[in-house]
Amino acid sequence: MLLASATTTADFKILGGGAQITNQHLSSHAKLDLSLDPRSATAVVNGIPITICIDLELVQNKLWPWSITFLEWRYPVKLGYHPLSRRFTVTDQRKKSTAVFHTLGEALRQLDRFSVIEALPAAIAKKKNLAVRIRVRIDKESLPTPLQFMSVLVPSWNQQSQWHEWPVQ
């Protein structure tokens, strides 16, 4: 029963964004639209945290059909619920910080705006035709062990946005 109620669908969209390099630092931002269906919310309320990963890549576009990926970053954020306080939590696992919210909607809205600044090696910062690619996905590896197995069998646990790309200014 727990596994059946824990199957999830998510709707992760990237609405837009931008990037620029200044003083060997990549500054990137994106507007996200993240939503979970009622089953997903129930899974979180029942103690199954969901880690949402924002994957960012710095690529160089060439004339051939593929691009060269120079750097990759992963920004995991854990969405959880504390039954005693009846509050939702959003934990930025890179910064080791947690924010607390009254509703799931408030917690997801916290994730609507993504921005980051990353230091770049000098050789990469000087390259031309650079672009940033971004996607949002559920991190299946962070699910409890029984659900990791289910994530292979149930496509709804394999939720991710399409890759979105924009040029670096």
Q: Which fold is adopted by the domain 2-167?
A: Immunoglobulin-like (2.60.40)
94-117 residue pLDDT tens: 999 999 999 999 999 999 999 999
Instruction: Point out the least confidently predicted range of 3-12, 20-29, 79-88, 129-138.
Output: 3-12
pLDDT at position 151: 66
Element housing 100 (H / E): strand 97-101
Mean pLDDT of the chain, nearest integer: 87
Q: For residue 130, give both structure tokens.
A: 């650079």
pLDDT at position 62: 76
What confidence tier does 154 reach under pLDDT thresholds 50, 70, 90?
Answer: low
What confidence tier does 28 reach under pLDDT thresholds 50, 70, 90?
Answer: very high
Amino acid at 128: K
Q: How far is CA 85 from the centre of its chain?
A: 26
Q: What pTM does this model have?
A: 0.85
Three-state DSSP state, 141? helix
Instruction: Point out the least confidently predicted range of 23-32, 35-44, 71-80.
Output: 35-44
Query: CB-based contacts of 100: which residues, under 8 Å, 6+ apart?
Result: 82, 85, 87, 88, 89
Domain boundaries, given as residue ranges, for the chain: 2-167
Q: For residue 94, give both structure tokens.
A: 């890179």
Q: For residue 42, give both structure tokens.
A: 């129930």
